[in-house]
Amino acid sequence: MSSTEPRRTTLDALHRSLGATMTDFAGWDMPLRYGSERDEHLAVRTKAGLFDLSHMGEITVTGPQAAALLDFALVGNIGAVKPGRARYTMICRADGGILDDLIVYRLGETEYMVVANASNAQVVLDALTERAAGFDAEVRDDRDAYALIAVQGPQAPGILASLTDADLDGLKYYAGLPGTVAGVPALIARTGYTGEDGFELFVKPEHAVELWQALTKAGEGAGLVPCGLSCRDTLRLEAGMPLYGHELTTSLTPFDAGLGRVVKFEKEGDFVGREALREAAARAGQNPPRVLVGLVAEGRRVPRAGYAVVAGGEVIGEVTSGAPSPTLGKPIAMAYVDAAHAAPGSAGVGVDIRGSHEPYEVVALPFYKRQK
């Protein structure tokens, strides 16, 4: 947490007029919820939700060697991403520890936008800047250049289509294209963090209020509601998506987190962390330390991050995220557990909830997958 005053997005006054409960998140004053977070969650699952995500950290990388720099700095095969497409990837330290998980949009042949978590944006910016030495590429801090508004949920395509001429049908998941939405220039990306179809709209901060209001109006008949970070967290948890600081930390490699697939050893050239990640891959393949699993409660008490996972009276793991799941109607959690107890259906697994061992079922992630 920053010791200075929290930053406010350009939509701040609007959130307050909507009666939002605000929360400090990574140094930003962000909407936690507007009304019931459960209702907001269910609106995204069944209709649509509108999010202010302007705290996310945008970093632009340009130049003849932009692709080469990102291939060196990140674990993914970024040069292979086609213009107009996006990739989920990670930035690691030389020892393989995860610095952040990222979405990288290739905006053009020699231009990329890297979107980092708010809490890590400075770390990512510093690492990219340092790793850019010797490359003919420029790393630019664009955190203040964008507001980010997301429309998520099954009604999102219809709502957005009423405000833009852009070819949304042709816009695939993990793709982005420049367009105009409600008269406002926007980068329209089919990405999200909810497990639903939806879009993320990167616009100039001075256009954010206008865009938010247009989306609100366009979504009126479709059940669109403003949504805060509380439901964003339960949505991503149900969808089995990791959150930095919970499932991902510098003490874990992507292989430890069950996300080794994002590491592309086959790409050309060296990259930061390659050697350590080779070893991590071998370790995870033969003798995995702990495995990320899903837990579903048999009772109603809710596991929280940091609670011990137990079996036969022994601690066998730790909860990284937990919440009551609005979709399942039961408490759920993600946890790292010893490999011996990681198989779905493993018997006798529980969570130590303030001294009492509550029974939990080990399940494969995700908890929720949308019907396509």
- Minimum CB distance to another protein, residue 120 (Å): 22
| Positions 250 through 309 that interact with another protein (CB under 8 A) | 300-302, 304
- Residues that contact another protein, how many (by CB under 8 A): 16
- Minimum CB distance to another protein, residue 318 (Å): 17
- Where residue 134 falls (left for φ over 0; alpha for ψ -120 to 50; beta otherwise) is left
- Minimum CB distance to another protein, residue 17 (Å): 17
Residue indicated by tokens 């990306």: 189
Binder of another protein out of 15, 33, 232, 341 (CB under 8 A): 33
- Minimum CB distance to another protein, residue 21 (Å): 7
Angle, helix 121-131 to helix 66-73, in steps of 10 degrees:
120
Is 85 a residue that touches another protein (CB under 8 A)?
no
- Whether the CB-CB separation of 136 and 64 falls below 8 Å is answered with yes
Q: Cα-flanking dihedrals φ and ψ of residue 136, to 5°?
A: -85, 75
- Minimum CB distance to another protein, residue 300 (Å): 4
Region of 36-44, 56-64, 118-126, 308-316 interacting with another protein (CB under 8 A)? 36-44
Is 32 a residue that touches another protein (CB under 8 A)?
yes
Residue closer to another protein, measured from CB, 49 or 157: 49
- Minimum CB distance to another protein, residue 323 (Å): 6
Residue closer to another protein, measured from CB, 8 or 304: 304
Rg (CA), the chain: 21
Residue closer to another protein, measured from CB, 131 or 232: 232
Cα 304 to Cα 321: distance, rounded to the nearest angstrom: 6
Q: Which amino acid is located at 8 in the chain?
A: R
Angle formed at CA 11 by CA 8 and CA 14, multiple of 5 degrees: 115
Residues 182-221: x where in contact with another protein by CB under 8 A, - otherwise, as a string: ----------------------------------------
Going by the DSSP 8-state scheme, the letter that residue 244 receives in this structure is B
Binder of another protein out of 50, 102, 280, 323 (CB under 8 A): 323
- Whether the CB-CB separation of 186 and 147 falls below 8 Å is answered with no
| Positions 336 through 365 that interact with another protein (CB under 8 A) | 354
Burial of 4 (0-12, 13-18, 19+ CB in 10 A): exposed
- Minimum CB distance to another protein, residue 136 (Å): 47
Is 45 a residue that touches another protein (CB under 8 A)?
no
Helix (H) or strand (E) holding 275: helix 274-286
Cα 158 to Cα 219: distance, rounded to the nearest angstrom: 9
Is 16 a residue that touches another protein (CB under 8 A)?
no
Cα 121 to Cα 98: distance, rounded to the nearest angstrom: 13
Is 36 a residue that touches another protein (CB under 8 A)?
yes
Cα 145 to Cα 168: distance, rounded to the nearest angstrom: 24
| Positions 227 through 246 that interact with another protein (CB under 8 A) | 230, 234
Cα 163 to Cα 184: distance, rounded to the nearest angstrom: 10
Interface with another protein (CB under 8 A):
21, 32-33, 36-38, 230, 234, 300-302, 304, 323-324, 331, 354
